[in-house]
């Protein structure tokens, strides 16, 4: 592996023990993946922020690194924490959990990591350009950055993303290299795909088929291009049920539309690439639904809600009252914009909540007493039984809001 003189210096401890430790991690990854060298990253996104996932050992690790003087040298952004950092009491979080979570956040902010607490950094001002190298770690964010924005990131672990932020480098392997960004499967979608739930069901099913491959979608009979929310849902679902970190959609995503002809041909490789035909989405929908009628909790906002999502929910809840708990989770940036437009007040007048900084997958939901959830997120539906012990219904935002209003699930 080739290291520049500056990188060799970091490894030898010329910039202190914190940078040396970070460079040791980056170099070890490069060794494992037989990278020829390192690439400079323009930003890092740090997962592993929730105290639920980190525990005391993870907290200690971060505090020790911070005490050594670790400091990020590129923009670094926090993934969601285990609670709304301001309104955690309203979530039912215990003071003990809140205290430890605050310590995690303090350790990260002391290193210069921004308090974004979101898996949608591209909605809060960090929009990487095509071709830029990143060290992002939350799987849906990585998928969006690679696929929709054309940036280049592997799915880093939390510590390796932090090491990349501290050194400004990551190992040059995987999706940083053009040859690994070609499609491995062509997916011919023959049925209509309409809602975010449809895109989630499609993503769930395709992720299971392709694992960590790179699917290339061709949507037949689809007059409307997918919206930003649809792309977020598709990518998040494939990253959860498989390990898809990059996908292409013909006529939509940058590397399926704007590459030079030879590279595009390589990206499709239609003649040699296995083809998956999707005739309906029933299997995906079915797999993400537990048979239950009574709903006591509704979750919207996985990945974190866009401003348009919050507006839709506000319109649906205007003047109504929820029977089941309903949480909309989003970034503090989007919540603040929605507050200015009066949408948070409208939603919360119904009894629902708009929480920032967190989501149901990384919050300690098992302590909240809910048993039966409705969600429009395939990723949340996929993880909830194992992560939180929740049975779940999965469907459109409209179905979910209706479930919150009636306390019951109605099939479409």
Which residues make up the interface to ligand F3S (CB under 6 A)? 79-80, 119, 138, 140, 236, 302-304, 359, 361-362, 379
Smallest distance from ligand F3S to CB 142, Å = 11
CB atoms within 10 A of CB 184: 17
d(CA 102, CA 268) in angstroms, rounded, equals 47
Dihedrals φ, ψ of 37, to 5°? -175, -160
Cβ contact 137:148 at 8 Å: no
Residue with smaller CB distance to ligand F3S, 167 or 330: 330
d(CA 233, CA 227) in angstroms, rounded, equals 10
Smallest distance from ligand F3S to CB 377, Å = 6
Smallest distance from ligand F3S to CB 79, Å = 6
Residue with smaller CB distance to ligand F3S, 168 or 200: 200
Smallest distance from ligand F3S to CB 119, Å = 3
Q: Give which of 114, 33, 32 is closest to 79, Cα–Cα.
A: 114
Residue with smaller CB distance to ligand F3S, 132 or 137: 137
Smallest distance from ligand F3S to CB 94, Å = 20
Q: What angle do CA 168, 108, 25 make, to 5 degrees?
A: 45
Residue with smaller CB distance to ligand F3S, 97 or 173: 97
Between the alpha carbon of residue 19 and those of residues 22, 73, 141, 217, the distances in Å are: 5, 10, 26, 42
- By residue count, the chain amounts to 412
Smallest distance from ligand F3S to CB 117, Å = 9
The residue with tokens 């350790």 is 107
Residue with smaller CB distance to ligand F3S, 81 or 206: 81
Residue with smaller CB distance to ligand F3S, 20 or 79: 79
**Element (DSSP H or E) covering residue 77:** strand 76-78
């Amino acid at each position: 592996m080739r290291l520049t003189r500056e990188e060799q210096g970091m490894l030898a401890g010329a910039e202190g023990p914190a940078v040396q430790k970070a460079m040791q991690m980056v170099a070890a990854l490069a060794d494992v993946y037989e990278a020829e060298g390192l690439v400079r990253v323009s930003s890092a996104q740090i997962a592993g922020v929730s105290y639920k996932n980190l525990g005391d050992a993870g907290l200690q690790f971060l505090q020790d690194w911070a005490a050594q003087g670790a400091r990020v040298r590129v923009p670094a952004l926090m993934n969601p924490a285990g609670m709304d950092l301001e309104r955690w009491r309203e979530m039912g979080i215990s003071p003990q959990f809140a205290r430890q979570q605050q310590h995690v956040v303090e350790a990260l902010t002391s290193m210069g990591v921004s308090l974004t607490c979101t898996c949608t950094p591209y909605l809060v001002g960090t929009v990487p350009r095509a071709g830029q190298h990143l060290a992002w770690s939350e799987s849906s964010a990585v998928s969006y950055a690679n696929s929709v924005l054309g940036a280049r990131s592997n799915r880093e672990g939390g510590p390796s993303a932090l090491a990349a932020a501290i050194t400004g480098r990551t190992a040059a392997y995987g999706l940083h290299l053009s040859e690994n960004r070609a499609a491995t499967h062509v997916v011919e979608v023959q049925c209509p795909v309409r809602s975010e739930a449809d895109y989630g069901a499609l993503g769930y099913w395709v992720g299971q088929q392709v694992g960590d491959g790179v699917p290339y979608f061709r949507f037949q009979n689809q007059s409307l291009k997918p919206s930003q929310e649809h792309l977020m849902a598709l990518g998040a679902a494939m990253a959860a049920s498989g390990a898809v970190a990059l996908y292409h959609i013909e006529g939509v995503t940058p590397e399926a539309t704007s590459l030079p002809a030879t590279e595009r041909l390589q990206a499709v490789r239609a003649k040699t690439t296995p083809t998956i035909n999707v005739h309906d989405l029933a299997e995906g929908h079915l797999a993400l639904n537990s048979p239950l009628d009574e709903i006591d909790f509704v979750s919207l906002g996985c990945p974190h809600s866009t401003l348009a999502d919050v507006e839709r929910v506000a319109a649906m809840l205007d003047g109504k009252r929820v029977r089941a708990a309903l949480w909309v989770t989003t970034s503090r940036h989007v919540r603040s914009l929605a507050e200015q437009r009066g949408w948070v007040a409208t939603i919360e007048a119904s009894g629902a909540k708009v929480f920032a900084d967190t989501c149901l997958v990384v919050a300690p939901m098992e302590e909240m007493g809910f048993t039966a959830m409705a969600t429009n997120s395939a990723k949340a539906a996929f993880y909830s039984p194992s992560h939180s012990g929740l049975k779940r219904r999965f469907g459109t935002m409209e179905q979910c809001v209706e479930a919150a209003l009636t306390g019951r699930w109605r099939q479409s």
